Structure 1
Amino acid sequence: MSNISIRQVPASHGVQWIKRGLAIMMAQPLAVHGAFFFYLLSTLLLQQVPVLGGLLPALVAPALVAGVMTVIRSAALQTTPSAGQLVIGFRDPAARTQLLLGGVLYLIGFFIAMLASTLGDGGMLFGGAILGKPIDASPQNINALTLAQFIALAALMPTVFAFWFAPQFMAWHAMGFAKACFFSFFGCVRNFGAIIVMFGSFLIILLIGALVVSLFAMIFGSEGIATVMMVPIGLFCLVLVFCTFHASYEDVVVIAAPEPALSENMNDPTP
């Protein structure tokens, strides 16, 4: 297993991550978008499984993310990605076990976040996300639901940090899920400023996209065109987020090759 260390970078690197993520996405656009749609389709299909459909997507999320990130890494290295990389998280038994254990931890973190959301809306969001109940988004409930979403997001952040780099650590470096989540969380805490700048930049991009779409809707006098345009913009941003995650991995995670054994150098005549 490689020696891994986490370095701290300036907050301004959050913008650089997005630029690097865009460059990665443009290097292999079909492969990167295909990997994302594989992730999306797999999640949608798992949701259709009776009884367990609400749990399976979160359980296998680390393994699916490991596959997507492996394709993105190939694009970043300017090598040709392969379809087999998408299932890297399921092929190796040791990695698969750790990724599934990570999925259990992710599921627990998601459950805790949804449970915390009940402080804001009395359980409406929890019922919709966990129990599959319809959510009453009537005007009188909007404020409560909005508060619940912010509470859930805040409560979910430790889990997000724990899994920012964890799937890559488990799939690429044979790291156990507990150590992988610890290193990932530690890396995010050390670079919290850059992460805030990154998400703030994404918010600006979305706002600009929304303004452009609204302008087109006003010009053509059709609200339908706004919906049609927002779908590809939203998908573009989601794919860019995945690529940006890898850019942050490149910038923050330092991989050092293990020192060679003494016996390997005993017959080396080089002084």
Structure 2
Amino acid sequence: MKLQIVPARTGFLWVKLGIQAFFKQPLALAGLFFMFMATVSIASLVPLLGSLVALALLPTMALGLMAATQEATKGKFPTPAILISALRAGQQGMRSMLVLGLLYAVGFLLVLAISALFDGGEFARVFLLRSPLDESATDQGLLQRGMLVFMVLHLPLSLAFWHAPALVHWHGVSPVKSLFFSLVACWRNKGAYVVFGLTWFLVLMTEGVIVQLIAVLMDEPTVLGVGAFAMTLLTTSMFLTSIYFTFRDSFSADVLEEPAPDAIE
């Protein structure tokens, strides 16, 4: 495994490749995304413990969507079982992915705890306990402040886990080292990742304008809400699909194939 430095314009290419890959298997990839969301949502229904389980599952599910994208680029139809492919890659692979999930959950809770210092724990309470919003906290701007702090601190956490699941699964890197390598890759290719993020932002804004125009032309206000929701889900699916290409081009390897169980144990 070797880190690759790519030009900033590669960020636009990642978006393009993600969209193209999605439309090679749109039903399969959209379906897997909805299964991913449903799994996390169902797990989160259990107060406190459910949220922790959902957080710990995120790296595994994210790897599953990357593996599904890899299959789609080969012209294959990814099945639902691919979402847990990381847990089926032998005992060592499963253990490493579970450790990675635990690290993410701990990191996420740490960020929540820090945000609680700025809003009295309102945002953390809403997230973990699914409690209704405290109107007094909202009026005073405490909740917004806590959310802002959370978003700022969650960014480096997200970057650390951006490539980590794939590094653990496809390259056999240890969970802790994978976090370091992921951060380094994002930093060294920061130009490409900035272009990547800005391009997706422009795609989302363009879709919003199109939905608004359609709603105005049809004189149907409900079209705006339904259309915006549908476009957001579609764009999120394509965004998650494009993440595979950010990993593929940031690290060099002979072949990015799913390892055999006996090869990693």
After TM superposition, the score normalised by the length of structure 1 is 0.85
Contact 1:114–1:129 (CA<8 Å) still a contact in 2?
no
- Provide Cα deviations, 1:204-236, integer angstroms capped at 9, x if missing partner: 222222222223333344432211101210111
Contact 1:60–1:99 (CA<8 Å) still a contact in 2?
no
Residue 220 and residue 116 in structure 1: after superposition, are their counterparts in 2 closer, same or farther (change >3 A)? farther
Partner of 1:46: 43
Give aligned pairs, total.
Answer: 254
Following superposition of structure 1 onto structure 2, how do residues 83-94 of structure 1 map, counting pairs within 5 Å?
83-91=80-88, 92-94=90-92
Query: Aligned to 2:32, which of 29, 32, 35?
Result: 35
Is it true that 1:189 corresponds to 2:178 in the alignment? no
The AA in structure 1 aligned to 2:87 is: F
Query: Aligned to 2:171, which of 170, 173, 176?
Result: 173
C-alpha displacement at 1:48, in angstroms?
2.6
Partner of 1:228: 226
The AA in structure 2 aligned to 1:174 is: G
Is it true that 1:63 corresponds to 2:60 in the alignment? yes
The 10-residue stretch of structure 1 (139-148 or 116-125) with the greater mean CA deviation from structure 2? 139-148
Tell me how far apart the structure 2 counterparts of residues 64 and 93 of structure 1 sit (CA, whole Å). Answer: 18
Partner of 1:264: none
Residue 37 and residue 214 in structure 1: after superposition, are their counterparts in 2 closer, same or farther (change >3 A)? same
The AA in structure 2 aligned to 1:110 is: F
2:228 is paired with a residue whose SS is helix
The AA in structure 2 aligned to 1:169 is: L
Contact 2:122–2:137 (CA<8 Å) still a contact in 1?
no
C-alpha displacement at 1:138, in angstroms?
7.8
Tell me how far apart the structure 2 counterparts of residues 137 and 230 of structure 1 sit (CA, whole Å). Answer: 27
Following superposition of structure 1 onto structure 2, how do residues 1-271 of structure 1 map, counting pairs within 5 Å?
4-49=1-46, 51-91=48-88, 92-136=90-134, 141=139, 143-256=141-254
1:207 is paired with a residue whose SS is helix
2:49 is paired with a residue whose SS is coil
Tell me how far apart the structure 2 counterparts of residues 217 and 119 of structure 1 sit (CA, whole Å). Answer: 43
Contact 1:63–1:96 (CA<8 Å) still a contact in 2?
no
Tell me how far apart the structure 2 counterparts of residues 200 and 181 of structure 1 sit (CA, whole Å). Answer: 24
Residue 212 and residue 254 in structure 1: after superposition, are their counterparts in 2 closer, same or farther (change >3 A)? same
Percent of pairs with identical residues: 26
Tell me how far apart the structure 1 counterparts of residues 137 and 209 of structure 2 sit (CA, whole Å). Answer: 24
The 10-residue stretch of structure 1 (130-139 or 90-99) with the greater mean CA deviation from structure 2? 130-139
Contact 1:32–1:239 (CA<8 Å) still a contact in 2?
yes
Q: Highest Rg: 1 or 2?
A: 1
Partner of 2:263: none
Tell me how far apart the structure 2 counterparts of residues 142 and 206 of structure 1 sit (CA, whole Å). Answer: 31
Query: Cα RMSD between the aligned structures?
Result: 2.2
C-alpha displacement at 1:140, in angstroms?
5.7
1:130 is paired with a residue whose SS is helix
Residue 209 and residue 138 in structure 1: after superposition, are their counterparts in 2 closer, same or farther (change >3 A)? farther
The AA in structure 2 aligned to 1:54 is: S
Tell me how far apart the structure 2 counterparts of residues 102 and 125 of structure 1 sit (CA, whole Å). Answer: 25
1:10 is paired with a residue whose SS is coil
C-alpha displacement at 1:81, in angstroms?
2.5
